[in-house]
Amino acid sequence: MKVGHQERRRMLANRYRTDFLFRICAVAMLLIGLGTLAVLLIDVLMDGAGKLSWSFLTSFPSRKPEQAGVLSPLVGTLYLMLLTAALALPVGVGAAVYLEEYSKQNWFSRIIEINIANLAGVPSIIYGLLGLELFVRAMKLERSLLAGSATMALLVLPIIIISAREALRAVPSSIREASLALGASQWQTVWNHVLPLAFPGILTGSILAFSRAIGEAAPLITIGALTYIAFLPDGLLAPFTVMPIQIFNWVSRPQRGFHEIAAAAILVLMAVLILMNALAVYLRQKYQKRINL
Amino acid sequence: MDTTSPTAFQIRDLNSWYGERQALSKISLSIPEHRITAIIGPSGCGKSTFIRCLNRINDLIPGFRVEGRVLFKDQDINDPAMDPIEIRYRIGMVFQKPNPFPKSIYDNIAYGPFLWGTKKGPPMDATVEESLKRAALWDEVKDKLHQSALALSGGQQQRLCIARALAVEPDVLLLDEPCSALDPIATARIEELLLELKKSYTIVIVTHNMQQAARVSDVTGFFLMGELIEFGETKQIFTNPKDRRTEDYITGRFG
């Protein structure tokens, strides 16, 4: 069908109008998301920025808001994350390697797959209850750093497994064939070739998982992590507290002074989060360059 | 058939399946030692499947199943008692697309010998140099052994893969369309190399380039839809094919 010039102009004008409307909608959606975040940040900054100081980072929590600091929750959060990573990474990557490289595709592996995906969506408080029963009571770890990080490890494990599997799947099978054709065993192939190539992807996924865990308070409150600690954990079995719990505690107090230091603590927590993500990006870039060279 | 040469592979009634789909049916042939055997046929005829049955690299493919006998020096390689790792060590393979490891040229060659116990330092250096020389790549890369293999051209990468396969000193070299991603000059270099290598190795090459099969091979097998249509001396296959379908294929009359 031949369309005349006038007709074509009219149709095009309509299409450009739709195009324009759609663009306006997309920008509006973006502004809703970013705007909320900005309001949140500004609110927290206005409340808390004045309270940030070196002594805020190096003092223990206190009954007096003007003397209180975040030393023990900050150190607790860092220890907890390191320990969680140490527990969850080997288990998660190991499980992913088994599922991707070794297991046969059948109904059993599919059930495992569906279950892992489901576990990633289980509310964190459920993991807290599991940790309470399993680590705190059955294994008698009490309300220790170890029990806390074991619980957190359970929480992040499904996400690590899923992202590690994605990363392993992205390694071309020609690399596996090249290695096996030389007489490498499956383990040698995985260890020497597949894992190093998948590493940047595994790292990215894991850091995202830890970013989720670092803001979690619920499962740790469930296992009975303390809210007031005036000393640093001195071992795996020491009691501990973390930033979100401390913030939760301060926010729930009536005095205005505690609300301000809660805002300051939120800023500290966000700074830790940004540092973690920056580290992940840095490591990934560095590693990928080595592979692509 | 060439009767002067002993047999490397005896294949008897080989059938194979990917899941429900049969890929090879009733393949029987003998591959002579220290000769180049070419496998030709149109895409999807099972020639790659066939060559991949010779070193059990198909074990990796989920749902792959094989029946029949593949005797290598009178041992059935599909026998459960046979170790697939040992088989792949004795029967090297070069793939369709060059697949160097994303490592240095040196490390690419060194990986195989490292697996089989060659010590680092002078012994490894000697093995790497020897392998690269046999693959006619040494002169081009000797000054950049520690640069990434991915910086090489496609043809160089493929010769690197051949050198890597030779570094573990296999008895057989399987090549699955090794030149399909290469330009004619790189292809010519690889063909030259194969003619040189057949003095010491049994070579099986899959190709959909009939001129290549005619140029380099001593024996040729023609596959069509999972069946072996004709197998014999290359000269005879190309000048006086017995089967009508072989003739149609090599004269380009195939649809």
With CA atoms as reference, report the closest residue to A77 among A291, A275, A290.
Answer: A275
CATH number reported for the structural domain that contains residue A121 in this entry: 1.10.3720.10
Claim to verify: residue A43 and residue A60 sit in the same structural domain: no
**What pTM, to 2 d.p., does this model score?**
0.83
- b (16+ CB within 10 A) / e for B221-253: bbbbebebbbbbbbeebbeebeeebbbebbeee
Residue A174 pLDDT level (bands cut at 50, 70, 90): very high
DSSP letter at A171? S
Residue type, B255: G
How far is CA A230 from its chain centroid? 27
Mean pLDDT across A47-64 = 85
Confidence of residue B4 (pLDDT cuts 50, 70, 90): low
pLDDT at A293: 40
* Whether residue A171 sits in one domain with residue A250: yes
Q: Residue B11: name the closest of B247, B181, B196, B221 by CA.
A: B221
Instruction: Return the structure tokens found at A156.
Output: 């992040």
Largest separation between any pair of C-alpha atoms in chain B: 57
CA distance A188 to chain B (A): 9
> What was the pLDDT predicted at A58?
85
Q: At what angle do helices A145-169 and A71-97 cross, to 10 degrees?
A: 40
In chain A, pLDDT over 90 holds for what percent of residues?
51
Mean pLDDT of chain A: 89
Residues A110 and A227 grouped into a single domain: yes
Q: What is the pLDDT of residue B113?
A: 95
pLDDT tens track for B91-123:
999 999 999 999 999 999 999 999 998 899 999
Confidence of residue A19 (pLDDT cuts 50, 70, 90): very high
pLDDT, residue B34, reads: 92
Residue A2 confidence (pLDDT) above 80:
no
| Per-residue pLDDT at B131 | 94
Structural domain harbouring A23 = 5-51
pLDDT value of residue B254: 67
Residue for token digits 């795996």?
A: A236
Answer yes or no: do A274 and A146 share one domain. Answer: yes
Give the pLDDT confidence of A129-158 residue by residue, as tens digits. Answer: 999 999 999 998 888 889 999 999 999 999
Please give the residue of chain B at the shortest CA–CA distance from A291: B102
* Element containing residue A175 per DSSP (H, E): helix A173-181
- Alpha-carbon span A267 to A290, nearest angstrom: 35
- A178–B89 C-beta distance less than 8 A: no
Query: CB within 8 A of A2, min separation 6: which ones?
Result: none
Which chain A residues touch B55 with a CB distance below 8 Å? 181
Please say if the pLDDT value at position B239 is more than 70.
yes
Chain B residues whose CB is inside 8 A of the A193 CB are 101
Quote the pLDDT of residue A79. Answer: 92
pLDDT higher than 70, residue B3: no
CB contact under 8 A, A193 and B150: no
Residue A266 has which token pair? Answer: 């939120």
Whether residues A44 and A66 fall in one domain: no
Say yes or no: A270 and A218 in one domain: yes
Q: Specify whether A154 is located in the same domain as A238.
A: yes
The pLDDT, as a whole number, for residue A290 is 56
Check residue A202 and give left, alpha or beta (phi > 0: left; psi -120 to 50: alpha): alpha
Of A35-39, A51-55, A200-204, the range with the highest mean pLDDT is A35-39
Q: Give the number of A-B residue pairs with CB atoms closer than 8 Å.
A: 65
Q: What percent of chain A has pLDDT over 70?
A: 98
Tens digit of each residue's pLDDT (9 = 90 or more) over B183-222: 888 899 889 999 999 989 999 999 988 889 999 999 999 9
Crossing angle for the helix pair A195-214 and A71-97, to the nearest 10 degrees: 140
Whether residue A157 sits in one domain with residue A84: yes
Dihedrals φ, ψ of A242, to 5°?
-130, 170
Count: domains in chain A? 2
Q: B153-169 pLDDT, tens per residue? A: 999 999 999 999 999 99
pLDDT above 70 as % of chain B: 98
Is residue A63 pLDDT above 90, yes or no? no
Is the domain of A18 the same as that of A99? no
A37/A42 Cα distance (integer angstroms): 9
* Closest-approach residue (CA) in chain A for B109: A182
Instruction: Please state the three-class secondary structure of B23-34 as a single string.
Output: EEEEEEEEEECC
Question: What is the ipTM score, two decimals?
Answer: 0.89
Q: Do B99 and A172 make contact, defined as CB atoms within 8 angstroms?
A: yes
For the segment A201-235, what is each residue's pLDDT rounded down to a tens digit?
898 889 888 988 898 888 998 888 777 777 788 88
Residue A289 has pLDDT above 60, yes or no: no
Contacts of B161 in chain A (CB under 8 A): 178
Region A152-172: mean pLDDT is 93
Cβ density class A228-261: b for 16+ within 10 Å, e for less: ebeeebeeeebbbbbbbbbbbbbeeeeeeebbbb
Q: Check B101 against A179: CB less than 8 A apart.
A: yes
**Nearest-by-Cβ selection for A178 from B62, B99, B168:** B99
Q: Check whether residue A244 and residue A259 sit in a common domain.
A: yes
Question: Is the domain of A137 the same as that of A174?
Answer: yes
- At residue A1, the pLDDT reads 67
What average pLDDT does chain B have? 91
Residue B12 pairs with which residues in a beta bridge? Answer: B69
A64 and A98, same domain (yes or no) = yes
Question: Is the pLDDT assigned to residue B1 strictly greater than 70?
Answer: no
Query: Which tokens go with A159?
Result: 């996400």
- A194-221 b/e (C-beta count within 10 Å ≥ 16 → b): bbbbbbbbbbbbbbbbbbebbbbbbbbb
Beta bridge partners of B220: B38, B232
What would the 3-class secondary structure string for A75-139 be?
A: HHHHHHHHHHHHHHHHHHHHHHHHHHHHCCCCHHHHHHHHHHHHHCCCCHHHHHHHHHHHHHHHC
| Residue A44 structure tokens | 């927290």
Give the model's pLDDT for residue A62: 83
